[in-house]
Structure 1
Amino acid sequence: MSTTVTADTEVDVPVRTAYDQWTQFESFPHFMNGVESVRQLDDTSTHWIVSIAGVTREFDADVSDQVPDDHVAWRSTTAEVHHRGRVDFRPVSADRTRVDLTIEWEPEGFVEKAGAALQLDDAQVKRDLHRFKEFIEERRAETGAWRGEVHGAQETAPGGTGLPGTATTGTAGTVNPPMSEGVVGSDPDLRA
Structure 2
Amino acid sequence: MRRSPYTPYGPYNQWTQFEDFPSFMENVVEVRQIDDSHVHWHAEIGGKHKEWDTEIVEQIPDRRIAWRTTAGPENHGIVSFEPVGGDRTRVSVDIEYQPETTMEKVGGMLGMVSSNVDEDLENFRDFLESRGHETGAWRGEIH
TM-score by length of 1: 0.72
- Which protein, 1 or 2, shows the higher relative CO under an 8 Å CA cutoff with sep ≥ 6? 2
Letter in 1 for 2:53: D
Q: What do the CA deviations read for 1:41-91 (whole angstroms, capped 9, x no partner)?
A: 00110100011111211111011100001011111101x411111110011
Secondary structure in 2 aligned to 1:99? strand
Q: Which of the two has higher C-alpha Rg?
A: 1
Q: What do the CA deviations read for 1:7-58 (whole angstroms, capped 9, x no partner)?
A: 10233415xx110000000000111111110001001101000111112111
Q: What do the CA deviations read for 1:155-184 (whole angstroms, capped 9, x no partner)?
A: xxxxxxxxxxxxxxxxxxxxxxxxxxxxxx
Letter in 2 for 1:123: S
Percent identical pairs in the alignment equals 45
Distance 1:70 1:140 in 2: 21
The residue correspondences of 1:1-192 to structure 2 (distance < 5 A) are 6-14=1-9, 17-78=10-71, 80-151=72-143
Distance 1:113 1:128 in 2: 20
Q: What do the CA deviations read for 1:136-164 (whole angstroms, capped 9, x no partner)?
A: 1111211010000000xxxxxxxxxxxxx
TM-score by length of 2: 0.96
- Higher percent of residues as strand: 2
Question: How well do the aligned residues superpose, as a CA RMSD in angstroms?
Answer: 1.1
Distance 2:113 2:7 in 1: 25
What residue ranges of structure 2 are gaps of 5+ in the alignment? Answer: none
